[in-house]
Structure 1
Amino acid sequence: MTTINRRRALSGSAAVALGVPVLAACGSDDDTSATDPATSGGDEPTGEPTEEESGGAAGGEALASAADVPVGGCLVVTGAKVVVTQPTEGDFKAFSAVCTHQGCLVETSSEGEIPCPCHASRFSLEDGSPLSGPASAPLEAVEITVDGDSITRA
């Protein structure tokens, strides 16, 4: 019986759809060491990030230093896709940095709002609601913890 793995299915689909030859990547079709706990030496994946993947912090992923977030502005943490805001001194909030219009990442700003560079949408530092532009839905809130100068995802 021939099994179809992801690589074979995707390369076959591409070849059929485009009518072009597809080169195989390194590795065999029978390579299951990355997903088989018996051969990979690891535990079965749980879907939860490991301590190393979550930034090593017990309370969550380290996002920023409070000193890096301008008062009346925002700081985008690109890797985490989070924008941290400080509407008034000492008041920190966080939202998804993915614009609700077409998925662009918003930008860091000290201009009193969260700007999206793609289509000029602007969002509130207070609640992530759209202030202008084609975006009509708010940025999704992200729970954070502020401990001294450290801002982490809750």
Structure 2
Amino acid sequence: MSNDDLCLNRRTIVIAGASAAAAAAALTACTTYGKESSPQAQAPAPAAGPPGPKAPAGQPAAIATTSEVPVGGGVIKGDVVVTQPSAGSFVGLDSTCTHAGCKVATVSGGTINCACHGSKFGLDGSVVNGPATRPLASKSVRVEGASIVLG
């Protein structure tokens, strides 16, 4: 065997080895090994907010707990705003601003605030600052134990 044969064989092996390594890397990058159908690979659905308390079968679901609603403040839970203007007094209001139909964004500083155009409502739903001219619609809520439920 000559040196030329040896060099040719080495080149062939090196080139073949490099090609195989590149092919393996490409296959690895393209292979999903079933990730699309695997439940672990699917991103979990975003939570809509902290879960509310569970209601026993046949009873209305709680929208908040009394401890979640600060005195002189409130919380927004989906399409309901629950406020506590004074200790132990809970008020339910629709979360849709009466000015342009936006959802109110926050309850802070003693008011319910709409970020769309700056309307502010009192904890009882009354207009504190326009452009809204009508109060937030009332929603009936009641306290059952430590839970606040619609109705």
TM-score, normalisation: structure 2: 0.59
Q: CA RMSD in A?
A: 1.7
Structure 2 vs 1, CA of residues 117 and 108 (structure 1 numbering), >3 Å: closer, same or farther? same
Distance 1:150 1:119, change over 3 A: same
Structure 2 residue corresponding to 1:148, chosen from 136, 141, 145 = 145
Q: Check conservation: 1:94, 1:142, Cα contact below 8 A.
A: yes
Greater share of helix residues, 1 or 2?
A: 2
Equivalent residue for 1:125, pick from 123, 126, 136? 123
Instruction: From the two aligned structures, give the one with the greater strand fraction.
Output: 2
Q: Displacement of 1:57 after TM fit?
A: 6.0
Contact 1:59 1:152 in 2 (8 A): no
Unaligned runs of 5+ in 2: 1-54
Partner of 1:75: 75
Question: Which residue does 2:45 correspond to in 1?
Answer: none
CA 1:118–1:144 in 2, change beyond 3 Å: closer, same or farther?
same
- In the alignment, structure 1 segments of 5+ residues that lack a partner are 1-54
How far has the Cα of 1:83 moved from its partner? 0.2
User: Structure 1 vs Structure 2: percent identity of aligned residues?
Assistant: 44
Query: Matched residue of 1:86: which SS?
Result: strand
- 4+ residue runs over 6 A deviation: none
1:64-103 mapped onto 2 (5 Å cutoff): 64-78=64-78, 81-103=79-101
Bigger CA radius of gyration: 2
Residues 106 and 114, structure 2, Cα contact 8 Å, conserved in 1? no
Residue 67 of structure 2 aligns to a residue whose secondary structure is helix
Q: Relative to structure 1, is the Cα distance of residues 132 and 57 closer, same or farther in structure 2, using a 3 angstrom cutoff?
A: farther
Q: How far apart are residue 108 of structure 1 and its match?
A: 3.3
In structure 2, relative to structure 1, the CA distance for the partners of 1:118 and 1:90 (3 Å cut) is: same
Q: What is the CA–CA distance in structure 1 between the aligned matches of 2:118 and 2:96, rounded to whole Å?
A: 13
Distance 1:134 1:56, change over 3 A: farther
Alpha carbons of structure 1 residues 148 and 122: separation in structure 2 relative to 1, 3 Å:
same
